[in-house]
Amino acid sequence: MVPALSAAQTTQVASVFTLERNVAMKTRDGVTLRADIYRPPGDGPFPVLLQRTPYDKQNAFPMAQKAVARGYMVVVQDVRGRYTSMGEWYPFKHESEDGYDAIEWAAALPKSNGKVGMFGGSYVGATQMLAAIAHPPHLAGICPVVTASNYHENWTYQGGAFEQWFDQSWTAGLTQNTMERTAYGASNALVAAKTLPLTQFPVFNKQLDMGSPAATAELAPYYLDWLAHPTYDAYWKQWSIEEHFADIQVPALTVAAWYDIFQDGSLRNYLGMKEHAGNDAARNGQRLLVIIGGHAGGGRKIGTVDFGPAAEEFEENDAALEWYDYLLQGKQNRWADKKRVRLFVMGANEWRDEDDWPLARAKATKYFLQSEGKANGAGGDGVLSTGKPGRGADTFIYDPADPVPTVGGPLCCDSAHEAPGPRDQAQVEQRGDVLVYTTPPLDQDVEVTGPVMLDLYARTTAADTDFTGKLVDVWPDGLMQNMTEGILRARYRASTTDEPTPIEPGKVYEYRIDLWSTSNVFKKGHRIRLEVSSSNFPRFDRNLNTGKDAAMSADFVKATTTVLHDAQHPSALVLLVVAGQQ
């Protein structure tokens, strides 16, 4: 990283580019935002690559160094209320207007050719999407990496459940900079993960050395607002990308990842822009790259699995530069090809180019749940079969005081305490409150590429409860590799966009649980497995089984839940099997 320089100071870095630090820009409402500007040698003009970040603009130096060497001017700006920029920090609230203003400002800077592309991932991807829906005239393209499409459903909630680990750990991490502005200290989400109600989650007051919910209200009011809006209401719709795909008028390279917390949102962004963007050039200009880890990690080894040398080919900055070499400099690289999609196929551990997503040749295949009534744990009698529905049912007791622990998966943002990615599920599958259904060892490779759905028929003694599903690849050596997972809160079985619909205890309902997507070759000798339960904590908040939200209540009861899988209730895991691979 370049040593910090005083405001508006300019320096020459290794005679390769000029760096101007902390350049002020005024937003339309008069707030000062500051950016670092990297200019290549020469008179230009140059295309501009812009990043707007809440994570300290100095961290973009490695990308800027690469980009200026390829003929780009780079502008990296701290978003409102973060680091060197003034104003109030509140996620999503100002990013459309501020993004528009920053793009038009950057396009008019000396040596700019007036074409601006944006880059970066996670919330930095959100700053791109939110700017793009404002359709600034000089925005030429975006490259959003592992980011969401709807900040309710695939950022703060999933299937009606609160994304507790992400919401609390991300909030705690972000408040560090806010605390430094207001004399507070740091926070660790793990310390308070079991705090109920969730509104009492404390950020930590350095001066008092104790948890303070009042400090949360002061330093992260958005966290409390998220809890106050559990449904997809006007609060969320005002900045939902999914409501505004038609307003996006530029090509995009969307980067998704199989083990990423925003996998579903990234795939929705690609599909939404491809189908609904505001002009033909934008719709035809959509490209999708699906990697392995995203927030779960990079390189060839992610979690406990080595994905081989091909996995090392992806590097986020290089991918973005290759995209803009094509889009802004006219170079005929892989993104000039007619194939829109490039994805990593796990199991086979190779990259593959595809015409589109999902794959047209993939066939929906039902794997029916079967047992003799004792599918509890990996040692039970649960079976997955493509033949026909089984008979009977399986029962487990869900106790919110002892929830099924999160082991790996699409996690963010404190990997020191909750390790993400593929992890051995042996610990989870020893529990009696986890139903396990497994195929016999496969007699040939089976490729599963596409969305994964669990169609579950169940009843419960509770006024409300959750249903979780997890797809697992069981290796011959005993490794139980989680592939993808999902959750559905019973009262949101119809839709998370409307008011919840209570369930009647003891009544059987059909629950369609979205397990997101994957691309994996289950190799010969491996087994396909499904886990079913009612909790995945602390990734998701615990359902209290009372019908009340954990946001405001601390009381809970146990629930006895029964999963049915007979001819009248054909519970099934639905996988998209690539033609010719089953």
Task: List Cβ neighbours of 169 (8 Å cut-off, separation of 6 or more).
Answer: 189, 190, 412, 413, 414, 418
CA angle 185, 190, 196 (to 5 degrees): 100
Contact 223, 169 (CB under 8 A): no
Residue listed under structure tokens 């995203």: 294
DSSP β-bridge partners for residue 286: 252
73-78/46-53 β-pairing: parallel
Task: List Cβ neighbours of 284 (8 Å cut-off, separation of 6 or more).
Answer: none
Query: How far apart, in whole angstroms, are the C-alpha atoms of residue 151 and residue 169?
Result: 16
Name the helix (H) or strand (E) containing 427. helix 426-429
Q: Can you read off the two tokens belonging to residue 574?
A: 């639905």
User: For 89, left (φ over 0), alpha (ψ -120 to 50), or beta?
Assistant: beta
Per the document, the length of the chain is 582
For residue 525, count other CB atoms closer than 10 A to its CB: 14
Query: How far apart, in whole angstroms, are the C-alpha atoms of residue 35 and residue 56?
Result: 10
Query: How far apart, in whole angstroms, are the C-alpha atoms of residue 182 and residue 490?
Result: 41
CA nearest neighbour of 272 among 396, 185, 144: 144
Residue 295 annotated as catalytic: yes
For residue 502, count other CB atoms closer than 10 A to its CB: 10
CA nearest neighbour of 10 among 110, 119, 151: 110
Show the beta-strand stretches assigned E in 300-373.
Answer: 301-302, 305-306, 341-345, 350-354, 362-370
| Chain centroid, CA 470 distance in Å | 17
**What amino acid is encoded at 508 in this protein?**
V
61-69 and 316-329 helices, crossing angle to 10°: 40
Query: How far apart, in whole angstroms, are the C-alpha atoms of residue 291 and residue 311?
Result: 8
3-state SS, 360-376, equals: CCEEEEEEEEECCCCCE
Query: How far apart, in whole angstroms, are the C-alpha atoms of residue 13 and residue 16?
Result: 6
Q: Can you read off the two tokens belonging to residue 516?
A: 């997101």
Task: List Cβ neighbours of 396 (8 Å cut-off, separation of 6 or more).
Answer: 376, 432, 433, 434, 435, 533, 534, 560, 561
Residue 417 annotated as catalytic: no
Q: Can you read off the two tokens belonging to residue 515?
A: 């397990």
Query: How far apart, in whole angstroms, are the C-alpha atoms of residue 217 and residue 211?
Result: 12
Indicate which residue of 85, 96, 112, 122 is catalytic.
122
**What amino acid is encoded at 4 in this protein?**
A
Indicate which residue of 94, 152, 244, 295 is catalytic.
295
Query: How far apart, in whole angstroms, are the C-alpha atoms of residue 204 and residue 192?
Result: 10
Residue 534 annotated as catalytic: no
Indicate which residue of 36, 101, 260, 264 is catalytic.
260
Task: List Cβ neighbours of 416 (8 Å cut-off, separation of 6 or more).
Answer: none
DSSP conformation class of 314: -
Rounded to whole angstroms, the maximal C-alpha distance in the chain is: 76
Question: Which residues are part of the catalytic machinery?
Answer: 122, 260, 295
